[in-house]
């Protein structure tokens, strides 16, 4: 009897030690907004999801393997706050469409396998005050315009990724390679290099998707934080063969009391070859909004955004009706609440 009790005590201690070296966290964001959107003469009022940040839930964990080596996993799925739908709003059948990765981390950095955002998309989100989400999403006037590779430009399946360690004096880098696995359009390679130290942040990224006529995204950006007032400037080029769109984004984030004012202006210009693609043309996107923090986890927000299309351009703000003709304006206004856990 005593031996059994001793064995049980030892088992409990070793099990406790294993648990102490590992962590698993349930996390998420629930975001809903009341929205009014308009494209041309078409208007719509709606209760929508993900006005400021994409609603999501997930589970992630880290295990300490000793000697500075750690293993981690991350599973993340989108939630439609307005309808309760799970999975994704992009039409994919994958439930963990936002992220499904396993990784090894150490003094060498992190090696990650699975589906996740590309380094190029993360670069753009870092300098867009709206992180490419909601009415202010700057990619609405250039990312999908040339038709191919847009999905893989944002997130990629079958991806092997590497990120540099955090102790490089502010310098950092990342690289991704995605296998097509029978679909050459899903092949992707990208790289990002940057420097972030104190108020200074500069970054550059390049991605290439597919074979033959590849879809390419090149972007360079910088920002400087003047003690709560942070301007940013970004230049992005998207290409497919001889079709090209050049976009310049000027943005500002200003901390005001318990909240923050954020605004951006993007001027996207398509070349003659790109304008031959249906719905593509020159466009200007303006967005302004305010986030009021009720606590560290809960915030109220409001945003106004407008796309001024020219020529055959048919870009629309997030959630707005599709344009019926080129050159129509698309705009939206929302009021919402975001809660993170």
Residue 131 maps to which CATH number? Answer: 2.40.160.10
Q: What is the mean pLDDT of residues 172-186?
A: 90
Provide the 8-state DSSP code for 125: H
Domain range enclosing 152? 30-53+120-156+182-340
More confident residue, 185 or 222: 222
Report how many domains make up the chain: 1
Q: What is the mean pLDDT of residues 3-9?
A: 41
Query: Does the pLDDT value for residue 101 go beyond 50?
Result: yes
Query: Does the pLDDT value for residue 107 go beyond 80?
Result: yes
pLDDT score for 86 = 82
Please give the mean pLDDT across all residues of the chain.
91
Q: Residue 212: what are its φ and ψ, rounded to 5°?
A: 70, -120
Residue 83 covered by a domain? no
Assign 151 to helix, strand or coil.
helix
Q: What is the mean pLDDT of residues 246-255?
A: 98
Q: Show Cβ contacts of residue 112 under 8 Å, excluding neighbours closer than 6 positions.
A: 101, 102, 103, 159, 160, 161, 162, 163
Provide the 8-state DSSP code for 323: P
Residue 63 covered by a domain? no
In angstroms, the first-to-last Cα distance of the chain is 46
pLDDT score for 182 = 82
Share of the chain above pLDDT 90, in %: 81
Q: What is the mean pLDDT of residues 35-55?
A: 97
Q: What is the mean pLDDT of residues 307-322?
A: 96
Query: Does the pLDDT value for residue 30 go beyond 50?
Result: yes
pLDDT score for 185 = 77
pLDDT score for 15 = 44
Assign 315 to helix, strand or coil.
coil
pLDDT confidence band for 20 (50 / 70 / 90)? very low
Residue 18 covered by a domain? no
pLDDT score for 266 = 98
Lowest-confidence segment of 10-14, 24-28, 145-149, 194-198 by average pLDDT: 10-14
pLDDT confidence band for 280 (50 / 70 / 90)? very high
Lowest-confidence segment of 136-150, 191-205, 295-309 by average pLDDT: 136-150
Residue 115 covered by a domain? no
pLDDT score for 150 = 53
Share of the chain above pLDDT 70, in %: 90
Residue 177 covered by a domain? no
pLDDT confidence band for 85 (50 / 70 / 90)? confident
Query: Does the pLDDT value for residue 314 go beyond 50?
Result: yes
Residue 241 covered by a domain? yes
Provide the 8-state DSSP code for 237: E
d(CA 140, CA 121): 13
d(CA 265, CA 287): 7
Query: Does the pLDDT value for residue 6 go beyond 50?
Result: no
In this structure, the number of other CB atoms found within 10 A of the CB of residue 53 comes to 18
Residue 292 covered by a domain? yes
* Beta-bridge mates of residue 213: none
Q: What is the pTM of this model?
A: 0.90
Lowest-confidence segment of 17-21, 25-29, 210-214 by average pLDDT: 17-21
pLDDT score for 286 = 98
pLDDT score for 210 = 83
């Amino acid at each position: 009897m005593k031996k059994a009790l001793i064995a049980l005590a030892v088992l409990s201690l070793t099990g406790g030690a294993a648990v102490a070296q590992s962590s698993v966290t349930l996390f998420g964001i629930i975001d809903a907004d009341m929205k009014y959107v308009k494209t041309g003469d078409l208007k719509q009022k709606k209760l929508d999801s993900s006005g400021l940040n994409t609603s999501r839930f997930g589970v992630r964990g880290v295990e300490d393997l000793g000697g500075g080596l750690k293993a981690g996993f991350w599973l993340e799925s989108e939630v439609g706050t307005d309808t309760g739908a799970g999975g994704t709003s992009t039409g994919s059948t994958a439930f963990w469409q936002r992220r499904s990765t396993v990784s090894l981390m150490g003094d060498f950095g992190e090696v990650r396998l699975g589906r996740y955002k590309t380094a190029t998309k993360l670069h753009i989100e870092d300098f867009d005050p709206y992180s490419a989400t909601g009415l202010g999403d700057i990619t609405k006037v250039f990312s999908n315009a040339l038709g191919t590779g847009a999905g893989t430009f944002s997130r990629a399946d079958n991806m092997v990724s590497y990120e540099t360690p955090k102790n490089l004096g502010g310098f950092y880098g990342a690289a991704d390679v995605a296998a097509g696995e029978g679909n050459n359009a899903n092949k992707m390679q990208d790289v990002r290099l940057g420097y972030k130290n104190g108020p200074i942040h500069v970054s550059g990224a390049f991605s290439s998707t597919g074979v033959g006529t590849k879809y390419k995204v090149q972007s360079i950006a910088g920002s400087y934080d003047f003690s709560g007032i942070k301007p940013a400037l970004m230049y992005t080029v998207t290409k497919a063969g001889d079709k090209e769109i050049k976009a310049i984004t000027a943005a500002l984030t200003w901390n005001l009391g318990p909240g923050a004012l954020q605004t951006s202006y993007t001027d996207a210009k398509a070349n003659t070859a790109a304008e031959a693609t249906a719905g593509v043309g020159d466009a200007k996107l303006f967005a302004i909004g305010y986030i009021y923090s009720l606590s560290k986890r809960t915030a109220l927000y409001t945003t106004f955004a407008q796309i001024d299309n020219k020529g055959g351009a048919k870009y629309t703000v997030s959630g707005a009706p599709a344009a019926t003709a080129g050159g129509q304006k698309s705009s939206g206004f929302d009021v919402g609440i975001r809660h993170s856990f």
